[in-house]
Amino acid sequence: MGVFSSKPVQPVAIPSDTVVELGPTGDTRILRPMVIDFTLCFDEVLDPKRLRGSLEALFNHGNWRKLGARLRLNVRTYFEMAWVDRGRLEYHFPAKFDGERPAFSYTHVEMSCNIKEYPLASQIPKATPVPTLQPDCAMFRSLSRDSHSPKRLEDWLISDIPQLYIHIVSLSDATMVAMTAMHTFLDANARVELVKAWVMSLNGRLNEVPEIYGFDFDPLEKLGKMATEESVLERHRTTDFGLFWWLAKLIIQSLFWKQTIRTICISPAALKKLKSQALTEVQALDSKAFLSDGDIISAWWTKYATLHLAKSKDRTVTIVNAFSMRPLLEKPYPNPDSTPLLPEGKPCLALSSDAIYTLIRAHEILAKPLSHTALSTRAQVEAMAAMLRSSKVPLVYGGSKSSMLVLSNRSKAKFYDVFDFSGAVVKVDEHLSKPIERIGRPAFIYALSIISGLSVRDNAVFEGPDGMGNLWLTATMDEENWAGVQEAIHREWEDAK
């Protein structure tokens, strides 16, 4: 193709579409490059027609048609589209859905074999009594998407495809249901709201589904405009040449170091042991100290994820713990008589996640309990949002030599309970050992990201507990670092086997 060859452009806008600009929490440099394949593995045979029909009914119910929006960038030329910072993303909601402009994309693959006979699906991680490294979940990507599934932002911008892509794989004794979408479209909170409504529709309770709050406006438009104090992270911010060298290091790592994803099951017995150890350490310093399961797993995994820094003990590690802002945003601010940004109890699809940052030296991680900064207050959420609004460059903390570890604890989302597709179950294997109340709920969940451009090297997501009380940790790190992690885990749990 020549230098002056034409480039793909965005489709012509449909006059009858409703157009709403994405808010600042959804349209960010971090989220734009990220596509998420979120896959649920069921031990039962589900009826794909019921799943599809109930989701179509939901998207045609009241203002839930917002979920069928098309994504556009409010610029005109491909040259402008190539610049990430140009323009703002917009949602274009069709006035109605039909065969030419469906509410969501849908594909279904049916296979006659059972899960044990399917070489790939038979390797899906299973629960283990002690933590062990299980297969790279990236090997299951073909179960989550087909050849037409979108992979990057441009796939949505230059076409008229819906935001959500549903891909279902049916076996003779199991089902995989995958949801592919841009991270600008769904975070953990929004996914929970969507699934709750989908389940209600599946169970014939569509008339009970409440309207979405913030259908034609951004409910978080004021976030970051009401700051009353400076962010505690401001003095740790990396700028100028420090930021340049930090990004240069990330580029080099992305080019020359391959990343691998591994999954670890943490059984109830293993979690009990970790709790006992952690509480003994912490209560020696504070007898009233409380640690959640998320705190314990975060601290435990952080030690493993930073083992490769043993020779760089003075390096600063920025630990980023993702958390939901919704409980804070549902409270009055800045005054007791102020109106909350989000109403309590109403479904809202605006992305409402933030992060707690901890700056700590590598040698402290290996020797001391993990502690957090005070960012999880409403005032600090506002201060952080103000920094994001005003910054023209990525926000990095801890200096040019710092390393970053991103942790996301999704246990409060309760995905293993929220995804109750029992209303679509058509067949249960007679040999399946599972409590009747867990029929139609996923046996395993995994999420895979496709990131265009640079990404944080080390991250981990915690899911669960599942129906048996297991927590699941899915972590990404440089391939060469996994050998040391595997050896350390084996040493720690060898006596427990």
Per-residue pLDDT tens for 143-192?
Answer: 999 988 999 999 999 999 999 999 999 999 999 999 999 998 988 888 99
Query: For residue 128, what are its two tokens?
Result: 């283990």
Find all residues with CB under 8 Å of 276, minimum gap 6, and list them: none
More confident residue, 2 or 59: 59
Task: Give the pLDDT confidence score for residue 264 in this predicted structure.
Answer: 93
> Which pair of tokens denotes residue 38?
């979120």
DSSP state at residue 140: G
Please give the structure tokens belonging to residue 476. 């990404």
Say which amino acid occupies 417.
D
What separation in angstroms does the CA of 3 have from each of 7, 82, 488, 496?
10, 16, 53, 63
Could you tell me the domains of the chain? 18-120+137-208 (3.30.559.10), 234-412+453-496 (3.30.559.10)
CA distance 112 to 118: 10
Per-residue confidence (pLDDT) for residue 176, from 0 to 100: 97
In whole angstroms, how far apart are CA 396 and each of 111, 198, 393, 452?
A: 47, 38, 9, 19
438-453 residue pLDDT tens: 999 999 999 998 887 7
pLDDT digit string, tens, across residues 303-332: 898 888 877 777 888 888 887 888 888 888
User: What single-letter amino acid sits at 408?
Assistant: S
Residue 362 has pLDDT above 80, yes or no: no
> Concatenated DSSP letters for 216-252?
SS-TTTTTTS---S--TTGGGB--HHHHHHHHHHHHH
Of residues 455 and 331, more confidently modeled = 331
Nearest alpha-carbon partner for 36 in 200, 175, 194: 194
Neighbour count for residue 158 (Cβ, 10 Å): 16
β-pair type (259-266, 133-134): antiparallel
pLDDT at site 1 = 41
